[in-house]
Chains A and B, each alone.
Chain A
Amino acid sequence: MALSNSRPNGNATVAARLQKELMDIMTKPTPGITAFPDDENMTVWTATIDGPAETPYADLVFKLSMEFAPTYPYVAPTVLFKTPIFHPNFDFSGRICLDILKDKWSAIYNITTVLLSLQSLLGEPNNASPLNGQAAELWDKDPAEYKRLVLARHKAPEDLDA
């Protein structure tokens, strides 16, 4: 009984929470990242991350999708890279291997902290548990080839939908 009652309540909470996050992002934008809801029900957002300077991803912009369950923030959002990316911890479908999006998710994280974590992961991959083994290997062995593959795979956001 209590549970069925709390379902709609949970949706109201997630909407309120996402509204608040949107307000924070609009009023205090963080350089290098953007995020905005796709539609008015706010459960799907599109975000962008600028590649950090002095990394193979410098001057590149990456587009991501973020999907929020009704139980957010008590479960992690589902985050996917929409821009094709060559990186040890992201696979070719854009799936992400990052502990804070899995079992280490905490309700105190938010959209901004997730995007900042992904941004720092671009420059500091976790090569111990790669999704993309080739990238993990080349990261240390052959930075030039790594950079070439990053650029070969990358597409500018405006070309994505075409």
Chain B
Amino acid sequence: MADDAYMPADEDYAHLQKLSSEYAPEATGPLVGERQSSAAITTQYATADPVYRVKTAALPAKYAYFRTCRGDGHCGWRAIAFTYFEALLRVGDVGKFEDEEARLNSLGNLLAHIGYSRDIWIDFAEEAFELLRKLAHSLRNMDGQAAEILLQTFNDTSESMAIITYVKLLASAWVQTHSDDFMHFVPMGDVKAYCANNIEPTQCEADNIGIAALAEALVKPAGFGLEVWYLDRSPGEEINRSFHSEPTDHHHVPIPNAPMLRLLYKPGHYDILYKAGDVPRVHHQPPPPQQSLHVALANSFDDFQPTASNVADVMTMIPGMYPTGLGQRWPSLSYDFSPSPASCAQVTPIQPYAPVPTPITPVSTSHLDFVTPIHSGHTSQYNRPSIHSIHLDQPPVTLPIHPPPPPVSIDRAAPIGLERGGPFRPSMYELEPGFGSSMQVQPFQTSIFRNSHFNTAHYMNPDFEPEQWCPDGDYSNGNKGRHKLQSS
């Protein structure tokens, strides 16, 4: 503060100006994220400007899913390239991958025309061709890995940067070989200089010209359409479409039901949008209501970096369940339902449930607060346990407590309790000393019980303890968790 008295010299101003102009928020998150419910966008904007709130609240109804791209200056190019490959997967025709490789190879003519010989671009193109081949191979073998291969490739810095470099070169070549179409939109009509300054540099964000060029060079010849939806503070109740390229065939006849590549543009950043119908295999996707359920439990909306793994780890929300050593913990959970006098009072289904003011109450409330603006349709469901149980009937939340547990001795349970640190209060049932050896009763197994709020795993249960969500933990084991869940 004392330093304020002194007048900074010009160099200091210059230095500050330099710092300010070079400032870029540190880009985090995966290069391309998992597809997730677009309700998460509504959540992100829940405390934003009213225009944003209205627009993002209307978003999930039309665009059920979205996918983040890391905001590192490549996001627009990355989003187009990723959705192009993803649309090919949606078509699911192995032959089309070969056609596309041949077609992209033939675009070498365009690159040669602007003075780029094959050896300049082939290393970058080869990564794109390699990805086409890998995806085709996976489709041919029907191993179900194609989507994962695509996501992994785009999350590999080196591979994805090569592909991004290649599509940028295609955009540059297209602009320069179609200068009549573009010269009126670039300074001095100099398309070559424009491309050298605004498309080819490694660090340059995709602009309208680059996107229009890729729509023509990459997207349309593949039979796809491309649209960009703009989320900004302009007046209105929904996002507006700022760019549209109709899917047409060689004779400019619109192709019905062609895949559309959809980008969501927020000033300075591109993500990927999906309509519900764009998503090929819905059963692979967790239903949105459950996603928001988990989001609410995370209790950390600002830092929310959603991935599908948020949903996948739903089992870890259950009291007594921890991300590590899942199998080990199941037995202790089963003993929650022992008819010992202490626990009987809480778990016996015949006893009428009376809401008890306990620490869970704020959780449910914040949950409702969160859901209300997004899924007005779902809100009421969360208020009624009867309907709520329908949600829990869906596979991802089914609690696998049916396998009869092996007897658990106290010796074994005690160390488990000790090793657990952190903010969790263990369930009063979990470590009840002595019950493990004295009780040999089958736990409750009916789905009615399992899905009811009498189950301590149910968030309406007074003893329900939500797992605290840790973004870092989710990223480190997220994908694996998801697979486990799907395969079980």
Residues on A close to B: CB < 8 A?
1-3, 5-7, 9-10, 12-13, 17, 20, 71, 73-76, 103-108
Taking CB atoms, residues of chain A closer than 8 Å to B479 are: 1
A6–B203 CB distance below 8 A: no
A3–B201 CB distance below 8 A: no
B475–A1 CB distance below 8 A: yes
A90 and B202 alpha carbons, distance in the complex (Å): 23
Residues 169-228 of B contacting A (Cβ, < 8 Å): 169, 196-197, 200-203
Told that A3-B31, A108-B200 touch, could you supply 5 new A-B pairs with CB distance under 8 A?
Answer: A2-B155, A6-B158, A13-B158, A74-B202, A76-B202
A52 and B116 alpha carbons, distance in the complex (Å): 25
Which residue on B lies nearest to A106, using beta carbons?
B200
Which residue on B lies nearest to A110, using beta carbons?
B120
A3–B155 CB distance below 8 A: yes
With A1-B479, A17-B123 as contacts: A105 and B203 at CB distance below 8 Å: yes
Taking CB atoms, residues of chain A closer than 8 Å to B196 are: 104, 106
Taking CB atoms, residues of chain B closer than 8 Å to A1 are: 475-476, 478-479
B202–A105 CB distance below 8 A: yes
A75–B155 CB distance below 8 A: no
Taking CB atoms, residues of chain A closer than 8 Å to B124 are: 107
A16 and B152 alpha carbons, distance in the complex (Å): 21
**B487 at interface by CB-CB < 8 Å:** no
**B304 at interface by CB-CB < 8 Å:** no
Which residue on B lies nearest to A105, using beta carbons?
B202
**B156 at interface by CB-CB < 8 Å:** yes
B165–A74 CB distance below 8 A: yes
B200–A74 CB distance below 8 A: no
Taking CB atoms, residues of chain B closer than 8 Å to A73 are: 202
A108–B120 CB distance below 8 A: yes
**B437 at interface by CB-CB < 8 Å:** no
A104–B157 CB distance below 8 A: no
A10 and B196 alpha carbons, distance in the complex (Å): 25
**B374 at interface by CB-CB < 8 Å:** no
**B161 at interface by CB-CB < 8 Å:** yes
A108–B121 CB distance below 8 A: yes
**B443 at interface by CB-CB < 8 Å:** no
Taking CB atoms, residues of chain B closer than 8 Å to A13 are: 158
A74–B476 CB distance below 8 A: no
Taking CB atoms, residues of chain B closer than 8 Å to A74 are: 161, 165, 202
Taking CB atoms, residues of chain B closer than 8 Å to A2 are: 30-31, 152, 155-156
Which residue on A lies nearest to B70, using beta carbons?
A3
Min CB gap A100→B, angstroms = 8
A-B contact pairs, 17 of them (CB 8 A): A1-B475, A1-B476, A2-B31, A2-B155, A3-B30, A7-B157, A10-B157, A20-B123, A71-B157, A73-B202, A74-B165, A74-B202, A105-B203, A106-B201, A106-B202, A108-B116, A108-B200
Min CB gap B403→A, angstroms = 31
What 1/0 flags go to B138-159 for Cβ under 8 Å of A? Answer: 0000000000000010011110
Taking CB atoms, residues of chain B closer than 8 Å to A9 are: 156-158
Closest CB pairs A-B (n = 10):
A2-B155, A6-B157, A13-B158, A106-B200, A107-B165, A6-B156, A74-B161, A104-B201, A10-B158, A74-B202
A108–B165 CB distance below 8 A: yes
Taking CB atoms, residues of chain B closer than 8 Å to A17 are: 123
A11 and B31 alpha carbons, distance in the complex (Å): 18
Residues 462-483 of B contacting A (Cβ, < 8 Å): 475-476, 478-479
A3 and B124 alpha carbons, distance in the complex (Å): 20
A107 and B74 alpha carbons, distance in the complex (Å): 13
Taking CB atoms, residues of chain B closer than 8 Å to A108 are: 116, 120-121, 165, 169, 200
A104 and B200 alpha carbons, distance in the complex (Å): 8
Min CB gap B131→A, angstroms = 15
Taking CB atoms, residues of chain B closer than 8 Å to A10 are: 157-158
Taking CB atoms, residues of chain A closer than 8 Å to B30 are: 2-3
With A1-B476, A1-B479 as contacts: A107 and B156 at CB distance below 8 Å: no
A104 and B155 alpha carbons, distance in the complex (Å): 25
Min CB gap B249→A, angstroms = 32
A107–B202 CB distance below 8 A: yes
Taking CB atoms, residues of chain A closer than 8 Å to B161 are: 71, 74, 107
Which residue on A lies nearest to B32, using beta carbons?
A2
A3 and B29 alpha carbons, distance in the complex (Å): 9
Which residue on A lies nearest to B152, using beta carbons?
A2
Taking CB atoms, residues of chain A closer than 8 Å to B165 are: 74, 107-108
A103–B158 CB distance below 8 A: no
A2 and B478 alpha carbons, distance in the complex (Å): 11
Taking CB atoms, residues of chain A closer than 8 Å to B116 are: 108
Taking CB atoms, residues of chain B closer than 8 Å to A76 are: 202
A159 and B30 alpha carbons, distance in the complex (Å): 50
A10 and B161 alpha carbons, distance in the complex (Å): 10
B155–A6 CB distance below 8 A: yes
Cβ-defined partner of A103 (8 Å) among B123, B155, B169, B201? B201
Taking CB atoms, residues of chain A closer than 8 Å to B197 are: 104
A6 and B159 alpha carbons, distance in the complex (Å): 9
Which residue on A lies nearest to B200, using beta carbons?
A106
Taking CB atoms, residues of chain B closer than 8 Å to A107 are: 124, 161, 165, 202
Central interface residue in B152, B158, B478, by most chain A CB within 10 Å: B158
Taking CB atoms, residues of chain A closer than 8 Å to B152 are: 2
Which residue on A lies nearest to B160, using beta carbons?
A6
Min CB gap A2→B, angstroms = 3
B157–A3 CB distance below 8 A: yes
Taking CB atoms, residues of chain A closer than 8 Å to B123 are: 17, 20
Which residue on A lies nearest to B156, using beta carbons?
A6
A104 and B121 alpha carbons, distance in the complex (Å): 18
Taking CB atoms, residues of chain B closer than 8 Å to A6 are: 155-158
A134 and B121 alpha carbons, distance in the complex (Å): 41
Min CB gap A107→B, angstroms = 5
